[in-house]
């Protein structure tokens, strides 16, 4: 992935001057910093960034410049990168299953908080991590709907086990905390409500006053034209629910957004390779590339098409859209509404693609070359 040093006004300006054969992701640092400020101003606690959603160094640096001082990391590579780019930041190692060698890397780099969801992994942490001043957050799960993707399928203790683990964390001398991840692209604030109530119940059952409650990521980004993410409403609900559930034992709050922070700061330009026999559209990017997430969590309709005369306006029609590989699953979900005149050589601009795009892009079938270009803004 290459990063050019030139800053363009907007994607169309770059595309009019270049003829990129490979997909391009346009990054608007101003948009990222504005979103970061929205979280920092609005969230009633510590905002940490889930590095896995987009680990590009320019993203980390711009988040740090906007004032983000905490990072949710999941591997030694992420830990070393944050230690290098933002040495003063707090690292929260929130992958609840780690090898002993991975734990050693976290200890060496002063990880401030560790999550855990099982007795066997807690045994490892108690044996290998110095307790004094270090937080262990017990991760629990609930059967809750409302997210686009079920994170509880892999991680999270039941509420019963969580109470047992939380008691052990406190008895071992660690700073006790609870954490959950309600799913991703949670457009229903109620997902947080149920979890916050359950967290208070776990703390009561364990007889432990928790220092912090980490309410996870899952904050929505802007994927559908008419649906602006209601971040402030979610923040207000989390604040109120925590006060009501915990009363005098109210813990400090932490959140760890990935998508909600970074998605809207990037726009993808994929090129139309062919409109095969006037029907199906073939792009130079697809589900093995920057569009990997669409089949998992649903489409994005914030799409513009740029032809030789600029952005194509006028009537749209539904099209089947394929990616460039020879695999038949390399197709965007459903049908995509595209301007009637879409033609070979056009660029399809997909907005809101900053999360889970650069990081999960593959080189399958020899595709996947992806450039990142910096722009002042994402619309012409």
The residues of the shown chain that bind ligand PLP, judged by CB under 6 A, are 50, 52-53, 72, 94, 181, 184, 216-219, 256-260, 355
- Between CA 32 and CA 11 the distance in angstroms is 16
H or E stretch covering 50? strand 46-50
**What is the DSSP secondary structure assignment for residue 22, as one 8-state letter?**
S
Residue 141 CB, shortest distance to ligand PLP, in Å, is 11
- Between CA 380 and CA 321 the distance in angstroms is 24
End-to-end CA distance of the chain: 24
Residue 78 CB, shortest distance to ligand PLP, in Å, is 12
**CB within 8 A of 16, min separation 6: which ones?**
none
Using alpha carbons, list the distances in angstroms from residue 211 to 70, 246, 254: 17, 12, 11
Nearest to 257 by CA among 94, 16, 57, 141: 94
Residue 363 CB, shortest distance to ligand PLP, in Å, is 23
Residue 197 CB, shortest distance to ligand PLP, in Å, is 20
Q: How many CB atoms lie within 10 A of CB 269?
A: 27
Residue 96 CB, shortest distance to ligand PLP, in Å, is 8
Q: How many CB atoms lie within 10 A of CB 327?
A: 14
Q: Which is nearer to ligand PLP, 129 or 191 (CB)?
A: 191
Q: Which is nearer to ligand PLP, 121 or 373 (CB)?
A: 121
- Between CA 304 and CA 269 the distance in angstroms is 9
Contact 322, 286 (CB under 8 A): yes
Using alpha carbons, list the distances in angstroms from residue 272 to 164, 183, 224, 246, 308: 56, 33, 22, 54, 12
Q: What angle do CA 157, 163, 165 make, to 5 degrees?
A: 70
* Residue in the shown chain whose Cβ atom is closest to ligand PLP: 217
Q: Which is nearer to ligand PLP, 117 or 346 (CB)?
A: 117
Q: Which is nearer to ligand PLP, 256 or 373 (CB)?
A: 256
Q: Which is nearer to ligand PLP, 11 or 70 (CB)?
A: 70
Q: Which is nearer to ligand PLP, 148 or 343 (CB)?
A: 148
Q: Which is nearer to ligand PLP, 206 or 261 (CB)?
A: 261
Residue 263 CB, shortest distance to ligand PLP, in Å, is 8
Residue 168 CB, shortest distance to ligand PLP, in Å, is 21
Q: Which is nearer to ligand PLP, 186 or 375 (CB)?
A: 186
- Which segments of 178-303 does DSSP mark as H helices, in order? 190-206, 231-246, 259-262, 294-297
Contact 56, 81 (CB under 8 A): no
Residue 240 CB, shortest distance to ligand PLP, in Å, is 21
């Amino acid at each position: 992935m290459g990063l050019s040093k030139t800053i363009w006004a907007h994607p169309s300006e770059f595309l009019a001057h270049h003829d990129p054969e490979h997909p391009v992701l346009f990054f608007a640092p101003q948009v990222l910093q504005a979103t970061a400020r929205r979280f920092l101003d609005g969230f009633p606690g510590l905002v940490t960034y889930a590095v896995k959603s987009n680990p590009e160094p320019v993203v980390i640096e711009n988040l740090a410049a906007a004032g983000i001082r905490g990072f949710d990391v999941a591997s030694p590579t992420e830990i070393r990168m944050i230690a290098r780019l933002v040495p003063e930041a707090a690292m929260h190692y929130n992958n609840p299953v780690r090898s002993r060698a991975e734990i050693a890397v976290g200890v060496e780099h002063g990880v401030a908080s560790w999550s855990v969801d099982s007795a066997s992994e807690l045994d490892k942490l108690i044996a290998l991590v110095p307790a004094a001043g270090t937080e262990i957050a017990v991760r629990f799960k609930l059967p809750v709907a409302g997210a686009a993707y079920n994170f509880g399928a892999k991680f999270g203790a039941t509420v019963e086990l969580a109470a047992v683990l939380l008691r052990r964390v406190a008895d071992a001398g660690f700073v006790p905390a609870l954490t959950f991840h309600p799913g991703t692209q949670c457009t229903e604030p109620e997902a947080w409500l149920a979890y916050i109530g359950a967290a208070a119940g776990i703390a009561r059952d364990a007889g432990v006053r928790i220092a912090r409650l980490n309410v996870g990521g899952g904050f929505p980004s802007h994927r559908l034209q008419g649906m602006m993410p209601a971040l402030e409403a979610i923040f207000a609900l989390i604040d109120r629910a925590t006060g009501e559930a915990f009363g005098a034992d109210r813990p400090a709050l932490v959140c760890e957004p990935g998508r909600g922070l970074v998605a809207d700061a990037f726009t993808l330009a994929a090129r139309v390779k062919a409109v095969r026999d006037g029907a199906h559209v073939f792009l130079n990017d697809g589900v093995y590339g920057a569009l990997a997430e669409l089949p998992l969590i649903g489409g994005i309709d914030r799409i513009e098409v740029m032809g030789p005369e600029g952005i194509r306006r006028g009537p749209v029609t539904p099209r089947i859209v394929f990616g460039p590989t020879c695999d038949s699953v390399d197709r965007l979900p459903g049908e995509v509404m595209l301007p009637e005149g879409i033609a070979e050589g056009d660029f399809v601009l997909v907005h809101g693609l900053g999360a889970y795009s650069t990081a999960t892009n593959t080189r399958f079938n020899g595709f996947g070359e992806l450039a990142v270009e910096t722009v002042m803004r994402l619309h012409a």
